[in-house]
Structure 1
Amino acid sequence: MTQKYKSEETKEKIIAISTKLFIEKGFEKTSIRDICEAIGMSKGAIYHHFKSKAEIIEAVKENKYSNVEQTVNDWINEIDAQSAKEKLTGILEKDIKDQEAHSLDEALSTQIKSSDFIVSMMKDSVSKSAPIFAKIIEEGNKDGSITTDYPHECAEVFFLLLNIWCDPQIIDCNEEQLHRRLTFLQLLMKRMGVDIMSDSIVQDTEKFLKKLYSGGGEA
């Protein structure tokens, strides 16, 4: 086993253990010592691979997003969809209900007020989540279930509004405002020819966000 392989294997192990601890205890309540004890390594060994806990959470986030496309493909295989539009609606429904897909959301919520974290979320929305949806929107243009001249722009705006504007931890809002924002996003996508947000998706997204941030924020 080469030194480079050992190093990558160790980093993956640190990320995996840290992810588990962040989910169980939350980011703020998880210390480097906790990670060291769980993995059986010294602080020096951890810091050889990551300069800080903040750098570890960035690696955890990166690891999460690197699996997004595979997760979406798995969901598509489970969805009985006759068109690209039905695929996208089915993906949104799966995403809301999949607890594993959101297992890190609560742990990451303590970082949500950080401007660096918000910028990172915006970049991830545009560069990682949106391209997957844009590809399916293009399929919809071909099969006739979607009609838009702006597949990539629609996907980018959708994720920016959903992940940032509709997140009450980032932009404060009460329950009525959250409902209006989600309803506006539903209408916007429909007017753009990408009618993928059903009324049940709007309702379930509201419930999910309220549950996720219960006790924190007005929503």
Structure 2
Amino acid sequence: MPRNKYPEKTVERILQTSYYLFTTRGYDNVSIQNIVDELGDITKGAIYHHFKSKDEILSAIFDKLCEEYSFTNMIKNHTGLNALEKIRASFKDAANDENIRKMNMETIPLIHNPHFFTQLVETVLKNISPQIEALIKEGNEDGSMRVDPKYTKEAAEVFGLLSKVWLLPTLIDNSMDGAFRKIDMLKVILDAIGIPLLDEEMTEVSKQYVRRFYIDE
């Protein structure tokens, strides 16, 4: 069998196709053979050459999305700001990014799948929280935050899990009013640990963003 000259393109196609199938059919309803059939010109052996399992494909999808929409990437164009202002700017950018909204709409139905939920939590703790912690430390230094230096890691994990998991519209209370109450409570929690992210403007930005998940446009 001839050697693949462009393995990175093969991996990209596998991830794109798997993402499409997972979000349209449901994770549990998709097999490796389904992915092979959808791709059309890539064998099952070729997929297993790059990924040991379907779970590993899901993990790679999360890693790719985190890289594309990382805090590091989203704040790089915001210069001259303190750490708290950088986080606020990145949240505003995310709220106005249709690609992020589309991704959220596609993946939210998967939240009750245990494989997806576990991977989401692991991704927050492994990839997102360290970026938040770096900004917290920067914020402590520039005076925009006042997190206890002994607990910057834990504060970052709380921030990441609450904002990326707990606030998801379909988790537990599937109502707009419930989502708004969570945002209000998130402000209380973040203020208490020294991250005053949700001022009046940011609270409204957050609620406007959440509202779009409940109102057909």
Calculate the TM-score normalised by the size of structure 1: 0.76
| 3-state SS in 2 of match to 1:78 | coil
In the alignment, structure 1 segments of 5+ residues that lack a partner are none
Q: Deviations over 1:173-216 (max 9, x none)?
A: 4332221211111122122221112333333333333433668x
For 1:102 and 1:129, locate their aligned partners in 2 and report how far apart those are by CA, in whole Å: 18
Partner of 2:192: 191
Partner of 1:44: 44
User: 1:16 and 2:16 equivalent?
Assistant: yes
Which 10-residue stretch deviates more, 93-102 or 31-40?
Answer: 31-40
Partner of 2:212: 211
Report the alpha carbon displacement of residue 60 of structure 1 after superposing the two structures with TM.
1.9
The count of corresponding residues between Structure 1 and Structure 2 is 210
Which 10-residue stretch deviates more, 132-141 or 186-195?
Answer: 186-195
For 2:73 and 2:63, locate their aligned partners in 1 and report how far apart those are by CA, in whole Å: 19
Asked if the contact 2:95–2:206 (Cα under 8 Å) also holds between the matched residues in 1, the reply is: yes
Q: Deviations over 1:56-93 (max 9, x none)?
A: 44432222123343xx3343233254311111111111
| 3-state SS in 2 of match to 1:212 | coil
Report the alpha carbon displacement of residue 134 of structure 1 after superposing the two structures with TM.
0.9
Partner of 2:132: 133
Structure 2 letter corresponding to 1:196: L
Q: Deviations over 1:114-140 (max 9, x none)?
A: 123222212211221111111011011
Partner of 1:26: 24
Which 10-residue stretch deviates more, 187-196 or 200-209?
Answer: 200-209
| 3-state SS in 2 of match to 1:125 | helix
Q: Pick closer, same or farther for the CA change 1:143–1:156 going to 2, 3 Å.
A: same
User: 1:142 and 2:141 equivalent?
Assistant: yes
Q: Report matched runs for 1:157-196 at 5 Å.
A: 157-196=158-197
For 1:166 and 1:54, locate their aligned partners in 2 and report how far apart those are by CA, in whole Å: 24
| 3-state SS in 2 of match to 1:190 | helix
Report the alpha carbon displacement of residue 45 of structure 1 after superposing the two structures with TM.
5.2
Q: Pick closer, same or farther for the CA change 1:4–1:145 going to 2, 3 Å.
A: same
Asked if the contact 1:65–1:128 (Cα under 8 Å) also holds between the matched residues in 2, the reply is: yes
Taking only aligned residues, the RMSD between alpha carbons, in angstroms, comes to 3.3
For 2:79 and 2:67, locate their aligned partners in 1 and report how far apart those are by CA, in whole Å: 25
Identity of aligned residues (%): 23
Asked if the contact 2:74–2:90 (Cα under 8 Å) also holds between the matched residues in 1, the reply is: yes
Calculate the TM-score normalised by the size of structure 2: 0.77
For 1:151 and 1:48, locate their aligned partners in 2 and report how far apart those are by CA, in whole Å: 39
Report the alpha carbon displacement of residue 22 of structure 1 after superposing the two structures with TM.
5.3
In the alignment, structure 2 segments of 5+ residues that lack a partner are none
